[in-house]
Amino acid sequence: MKTKYKLIVLLLSLIIIIGFSNEETVLSKNNEILKTEVEAINKSISEEKTVFKSIGDSHVEINGKKIFIELAKTYKEVHTGLMFREELCVDCGMLFMLEKEKIYSVWMKNVLIPLDIIFINSSMEIVDILNTETCRRKPCQLYRPKHPSNYILETNINLFNEEIIGNKVKIFITP
**CATH code for 59-172?**
2.60.120.1140
128-143 pLDDT, tens per residue?
A: 999 999 998 889 999 9
Q: What is the C-alpha to C-alpha distance for residues 36 and 53, in angstroms, rounded to an integer?
A: 30
58-106 pLDDT, tens per residue?
A: 999 999 999 999 999 888 999 999 999 999 999 999 999 999 999 999 9
**β pairing state of 65-72 and 92-102:** parallel
Backbone torsions φ then ψ of 18, nearest 5 degrees: -60, -40
**What is the residue extent of each domain of the chain?**
2-47, 59-172
Backbone torsions φ then ψ of 5, nearest 5 degrees: -70, -35
Which of 49, 18, 47 is CA-nearest to residue 35?
18
109-130 pLDDT, tens per residue?
A: 999 999 999 999 999 999 999 9
Please give the DSSP secondary-structure letter assigned to residue 140: P
Which of 101, 142, 93, 145 is CA-nearest to residue 119?
145
